[in-house]
Amino acid sequence: MQHTRNQDTLVGLFVASGIAGLFFLAMHVSNLSSFTDEDSYTITAKFENSGGLKVKSPVSAAGVKIGKVTAITFDPKTYKSVVQLSINSKYNTLPDDTTASVFTAGLLGEQYVNLEPGGSDTYLKKGGEIEITQSAIILEKAIGQFLFKSAAEEKK
Amino acid sequence: MDFIENLGSGTRAGFNKLGRGTHFLIQIFSGVISVLLRPRLLLKQMYSVGVMSFLIITISGLFVGMVLGLQGYYTLSDFGAEETLGVMVAASLVRELGPVVSALLFAGRAGSALTAEIGLMKATEQLSGMEMMAIDPVKRIVTPRFLAGLISMPLLAGLFSAVGIMGGQIVGCGLLGVDEGAYWAQMQSNIDFYDDIINGVIKSIVFGFVTSWIALFEGYDSIPTSEGVSRATTRTVVNSAFTILGLDFILTALMFGDH
Amino acid sequence: MNNRISDQDNLVSVRDLTFSRGNKKIFDDISLDFQRGKVTAIMGPSGTGKTTMLKLIGGQLFPDKGTVFVDGQNVHKLRRADLYTLRKRLGMLFQSGALLTDMSVFDNVAFPLREHTQLPESMIRTLVLMKLQAVGLRGASQLMPNELSGGMARRVALARAIALDPMMIMYDEPFTGQDPISMGVLVHLIKSLNNILGLTSIIVSHDVHDTMAIADYIYVLSGGKIVGQGSPKEIQESDSEWVQQFMTGAADGPVHFHYPAKDYIDDLMSSGKRY
């Protein structure tokens, strides 16, 4: 009987360590711990062009990740890109004149939404909209503009 | 002409085996409730299937993670992107290497043992003996082993990935000087719970299912002689490996395809 | 067809049975009867399908043709659950013993009791020790099967076979490969179990001497047919050359020493090409 009890203990240890491993993956490796749907609120921002932004792209303020993109849709009336941002409820003091811009991390890195708080005393609430936005910089466009500009300067 | 004939009979034999295997699987399922009512049977098999594979899985996981840390560092540092080492190690482990390598090791360690055990029980008339005692050997012998494999596999894969990620950290942060905060932070912001972790766990459950099924069926279907059992054991390892890798491709295409 | 299921004297009756494996006919339309409370032996040279007969009676194999009645029930027409209910009343002793190698002698004998009854552990212990006492191995109850000799393993298997107090026991080659002492022990056990418990016994064997000593009725099989039957005395006095060859152990006779082959000289002289 001693033998079986030993076996039971080892099986118990095995199952516990397996579950601990999975728990570690969930809480320490994945983003499950940082954001869950319950403690976040959604706001929207309309961009002229959201560029290479994707669902789950990070939303950050002053370089710190505070939320993520949850949906990107095209508004057929205004011809703008409507981006839904899910912001962690901890950060519920964003002023309503916050500027949202689509930035690129590094030269070829992934794109993210950067929020730059303004000076207003009223805060953005759940379902609110960021009105001041700055579109993504499209590399081809920027290069085109640069070439056009230098060509024009040369003519002078 | 011979070739076509062989191809025809080979195909027929293949379908016949698949049919018998499916029938066997249904028999296994019919015993699930009676096994759950007697957890001791399951516990005993969890020991020989799970606990006995613990060491090989954790040690292999550690080394695979360390190699990933090393190789990842050399490649990423060329682009000045060492900070994303954590993402690379974790993503490769959680999505692919964890489920696949642990399933391959499981097939070699536990699967072959299951086939040999069932095959020898058949060869020594233990299975017939049970049948004559009015005890269904599939329900009494096979089902607990199947369930033990099904439960153990995701736990082992989880352990493999977890230990591997720590191994990557030991090499990356301890030896090569990647910032530890960046290692974890980058990982956390890029590894998605549903897309990566849950999909990895689903993979390992599927692999546990097919590996246990193949191992037990090969044993049960083996020719009850020394040679027959040894061939069945080889077939278990070979067929499991093929099935795991083939299914991994299909599952990966289904799970991660639309990104 | 003479359907004698009502025949109360016979616990098992096999009718017009044909069974083949591949192209080889193992049994060719044979009928046998096994009387209640008697020891009936099936004898014959190796490879005549004696073990197959036991598996057919136990419902593990299905015949091509013919029927097997056990206690008035057609074994191969029974639903699975009913077949299992019937099997609880049949014991079978395999040639190898077929003990479960991962449990002790005690647990092996307790196995059918634990699987089929809800008896408390104390009662099971009493029953197991009684059965082991009957085969003289109570002292070996804590040994593992790999620590037993072949004869002991067979006795443990016998204790397990009688654990559920069956109405019939089928012995598959019980005497093969035993030294004279354990052979004597087994002969004694089979005989006394039969007398004391009133069991019906079927023995499959090719051991002429010992089978003659305990059987009440003997069937001699060869080539898928019954070549002789009767009491041991009748068999001994049979004028069938098949039976005589088997009884005296002559190397050649109706049963040939050589496996069927093409002409010996031709084979030696041929080029050796595979065919």
Decide if B197 and A29 are in contact by the 8 Å CB cutoff: yes
Break chain B into its structural domains and give their ranges: 45-254
Check: CB of residue A40 under 8 Å from CB of residue A93.
no
With a CB cutoff of 8 Å and minimum separation 6, the contacts of C204 are C41, C42, C43, C50, C51, C53, C54, C170, C171, C172, C173
pLDDT for the residue numbered A109: 65
pLDDT for the residue numbered C190: 85
Average pLDDT over residues B142-159: 95
pLDDT confidence bin for B24, thresholds 50/70/90: very high
Searching chain B, which residue's CA lies closest to the CA of residue A24? B162
User: Does C116 contact B at CB distance below 8 Å?
Assistant: yes
Check: CB of residue C163 under 8 Å from CB of residue C126.
no
Q: Phi/psi class of residue C120: alpha, beta or left (left: φ > 0; alpha: ψ in -120 to 50)?
A: beta
With a CB cutoff of 8 Å and minimum separation 6, the contacts of A39 are A88, A89, A90
Q: Which of B38, B48, B51 to mutate to test the interface with A (most CBs of A within 10 A)?
A: B51
Instruction: List, as ranges, residues 75-94 from C with C-beta within 8 Å of B.
Output: 84-85, 87-88, 90-92, 94
The 10s digit of each residue's pLDDT in A44-75 is 888 888 877 888 788 888 878 888 888 888 98
User: Does A26 contact B at CB distance below 8 Å?
Assistant: yes
Chain centroid to CA C165: 18
Cα separation, B27 vs C61, in Å, equals: 18
Break chain A into its structural domains and give their ranges: 1-36, 37-137
Q: Is the pLDDT of residue B29 over 90?
A: yes
Chain C residues whose beta carbon lies within 8 Å of the beta carbon of residue B129 = 92, 94, 98-100, 157
Chain A residues whose beta carbon lies within 8 Å of the beta carbon of residue B163 = 21
Q: Is the pLDDT of residue B244 over 60?
A: yes
| Residue type at position B52 | M
Residue B21 tokens, joined: 């295997």
Q: Phi/psi class of residue C5: alpha, beta or left (left: φ > 0; alpha: ψ in -120 to 50)?
A: alpha
User: Does C27 contact B at CB distance below 8 Å?
Assistant: no
pLDDT confidence bin for C5, thresholds 50/70/90: very low
Cα separation, C216 vs C179, in Å, equals: 24
First vs last Cα of chain C: how many Å apart?
45
The 10s digit of each residue's pLDDT in C46-87 is 777 888 888 889 888 888 888 899 888 888 888 888 898 888
Cα separation, C131 vs A15, in Å, equals: 40
Decide if B158 and A8 are in contact by the 8 Å CB cutoff: no
- Is A touching C (3+ C-beta pairs, cut-off 8 A)? no
Q: Distance (Å) from the C-alpha of residue B199 to the closest C-alpha of chain A?
A: 12
Q: Is the pLDDT of residue B217 over 90?
A: yes
Residue B234 or A7, more confident:
B234
Cross-sheet strand order for the sheet of A132-134 = A129-130, A40-47, A80-88, A64-75, A58-61, A111-116, A99-104, A132-134
DSSP A45: E
DSSP A123: B
Q: Distance (Å) from the C-alpha of residue A153 to the closest C-alpha of chain B?
A: 36
Write down the residue that tokens 């299937």 correspond to: B49
The mean-pLDDT minimum among A34-43, B193-202, C157-166 falls in A34-43
Chain B residues whose beta carbon lies within 8 Å of the beta carbon of residue C95 = 125
- Percentage of chain C surpassing pLDDT 70? 92
pLDDT for the residue numbered B115: 96
Cα separation, C47 vs B96, in Å, equals: 54
Check: CB of residue A99 under 8 Å from CB of residue A79.
no
Chain B residues whose beta carbon lies within 8 Å of the beta carbon of residue C156 = none
Decide if B128 and C60 are in contact by the 8 Å CB cutoff: yes
Q: Phi/psi class of residue B152: alpha, beta or left (left: φ > 0; alpha: ψ in -120 to 50)?
A: alpha
For chain A, give the longest Cα–Cα distance.
98
Backbone phi, psi, residue B97, to 5°: -65, -40
Q: How many CB pairs below 8 Å do chains A and B form together?
A: 91
- At A134, is the secondary structure helix, strand, or coil? strand
Check: CB of residue B82 under 8 Å from CB of residue B76.
yes
Chain B residues whose beta carbon lies within 8 Å of the beta carbon of residue A65 = 189
Name the range with the highest mean pLDDT among A92-96, B131-135, B167-171, C171-175: B167-171
For chain C, give the longest Cα–Cα distance.
73
Searching chain B, which residue's CA lies closest to the CA of residue C61? B128
> Closest Cα partner for B230 from B111, B112, B104?
B112
Residue C91 tokens, joined: 């014991």
Cα separation, A17 vs A13, in Å, equals: 6
Cα C78 to Cα B47, B167, C36, distances in angstroms:
38, 60, 21
Of the partner residues A14, A19, A24, the one whose CB lies closest to the CB of residue B50: A14
The mean-pLDDT minimum among A15-19, C7-11, C16-20, C264-268 falls in C7-11
Cα separation, C57 vs C75, in Å, equals: 7
Contact partners of C by the rule of 3+ C-beta pairs under 8 A? B
CA B209, B215, B221: angle at the middle one, nearest 5? Answer: 125
State chain C's mean pLDDT as an integer. Answer: 83
Chain A residues whose beta carbon lies within 8 Å of the beta carbon of residue B46 = 11, 14-15
Check: CB of residue B208 under 8 Å from CB of residue B247.
no
Chain centroid to CA C157: 13
pLDDT for the residue numbered C1: 39
pLDDT confidence bin for A137, thresholds 50/70/90: confident
pLDDT for the residue numbered A3: 62
Cα C271 to Cα B132, B232, C33, C260, distances in angstroms:
50, 37, 52, 20
Q: Which of A1, A25, A28, A33 to mutate to test the interface with B (most CBs of B within 10 A)?
A: A25
- The torsion of the CA quartet A81, A84, A87, A93, rounded to 10 degrees, works out to 60
pLDDT for the residue numbered B212: 96
Instruction: List, as ranges, residues 114-133 from B with C-beta within 8 Å of C.
Output: 121, 124-126, 128-133
User: Does A30 contact B at CB distance below 8 Å?
Assistant: yes
The 10s digit of each residue's pLDDT in C174-183 is 887 777 787 8
User: Does A27 contact B at CB distance below 8 Å?
Assistant: no
The 10s digit of each residue's pLDDT in B51-84 is 999 999 999 999 999 999 999 999 888 887 888 8
Q: Are strands A111-116 and A99-104 parallel, antiparallel or unpaired?
A: antiparallel
pLDDT confidence bin for B181, thresholds 50/70/90: confident
Residue B125 tokens, joined: 């008339």
User: Does A131 contact B at CB distance below 8 Å?
Assistant: no
Average pLDDT over residues A112-133: 84
pLDDT confidence bin for A38, thresholds 50/70/90: low
Decide if B126 and C60 are in contact by the 8 Å CB cutoff: no
Name the range with the highest mean pLDDT among A104-108, B73-77, B155-159, C151-155: B155-159
User: Does B224 contact C at CB distance below 8 Å?
Assistant: no
Written as one string, the DSSP assignment of C52-83 is HHHHHHTTSS--SEEEEEETTEEGGGS-HHHH
Chain B residues whose beta carbon lies within 8 Å of the beta carbon of residue C55 = 128
Cα separation, A11 vs B51, in Å, equals: 6
| Residue type at position A143 | I
Q: Which residues of B touch chain A, with CB atoms under 8 Å apart?
A: 43-44, 46-47, 50-51, 54, 90, 94, 152, 154-156, 158-163, 165, 184, 187-193, 196-197, 200-201
Cα separation, B237 vs B24, in Å, equals: 19
Decide if A25 and B155 are in contact by the 8 Å CB cutoff: no
Average pLDDT over residues C143-171: 88
Chain B residues whose beta carbon lies within 8 Å of the beta carbon of residue C112 = 133-135
Of the partner residues B124, B131, B140, the one whose CB lies closest to the CB of residue C96: B124
B88-92 long-range contacts, CB within 8 A, separation 24+: B89/B65, B89/B164, B89/B165, B89/B168, B89/B169, B89/B172, B89/B187, B90/A29, B90/B161, B90/B165, B90/B168, B90/B187, B90/B191, B90/B196, B91/B190, B91/B191, B91/B196, B92/B68
Write down the residue that tokens 């692999």 correspond to: B207
pLDDT for the residue numbered B227: 93
Of the partner residues C98, C111, C112, the one whose CB lies closest to the CB of residue B125: C98
Cα separation, C245 vs C43, in Å, equals: 12
The mean-pLDDT minimum among A105-114, C18-27, C186-195 falls in A105-114
Chain A residues whose beta carbon lies within 8 Å of the beta carbon of residue B200 = 25
Q: Is the pLDDT of residue C6 over 70?
A: no
> Closest Cα partner for B105 from B11, B211, B259?
B211
Check: CB of residue C10 under 8 Å from CB of residue C4.
yes
